[in-house]
Amino acid sequence: MTHTGKIRGVDISACSTGAGGGSTASAMEGLATIGAKTFIRVGTTSAIQSHIRPGDLIISSGAVRYDGTSENYVNLNYPAVADYEVVAALVEACERLGYTYHVGITATAASFFCGQNRDGFGGYRQSWFETRYEDLKAANVINYEMEAATVLTLSSLFKIKAGAIFTVIGNRETNEFAYDGIEKSIEASTEAAIILAEWNRLKMEKNKKNWYPSLVK
């Protein structure tokens, strides 16, 4: 399901990709084919660092590629990184809106259950579930979700911009859960798209290829 329109004169589409990298990659392929230039993954997430509260926002600077899809496009040594302009625009949007946010590395899993250290049906689990979780936490990875690595990897390969922002609905360390504040990540991503459009206008006016902070002065 995709809806397209304008907000404050900026062309924006909202596309429901479904869960996981496979359907997300298919959506990206189709949207890129018809001219999409910037992708922002928006959704919910669980935090794995104790200082992050439900209702906070997380902006991904990059992602660990456990998505099971991006490896079909490029070797796993290739990084999944967010475009710096998109990250900066998401930060600016959160500051304007007054939302609490965190910037850091995301872990993208191919499974909602076992891939994120949750028991499968009937309590099924493997010993490495716990090891992976603890290793990610020690490496300062801040959250689990299921699509960011696919979006960030494919965007780099396709030479388009991408980022990701999430509303935290649970913290796995503190066992806090609150399915609330989802509209915050939607509002921040929309504001970021408008900010990016303004920065693109400035780049064109000043004949610059890249955005940098003093460009707005």
Q: Which residue has the tokens 């084919």?
A: 33
| pLDDT tens-digit series, residues 52-73 | 999 999 999 999 999 999 999 9
Instruction: Return the CATH architecture of domain 2-216.
Output: 3-Layer(aba) Sandwich (3.40)
The whole-angstrom distance between residue 185's C-alpha and the CA centroid of its chain comes to 10
pLDDT of residue 127: 85
Query: What phi and psi, each to the nearest 5 degrees, are found at residue 15?
Result: -125, 130
pTM summary value: 0.91
| pLDDT tens-digit series, residues 132-186 | 889 999 999 999 999 999 999 999 999 999 999 999 999 999 999 998 889 999 9
Task: Give the CA dihedral 163, 2, 66, 190, nearest 10 degrees.
Answer: 20
Cα–Cα dist 19/25, whole Å: 11
Cα–Cα dist 42/55, whole Å: 14
Determine contact, residues 64/105, Cβ cutoff 8 Å: yes
Label the pairing between strands 141-145 and 101-109. Answer: parallel
Boundaries of every domain in the chain: 2-216
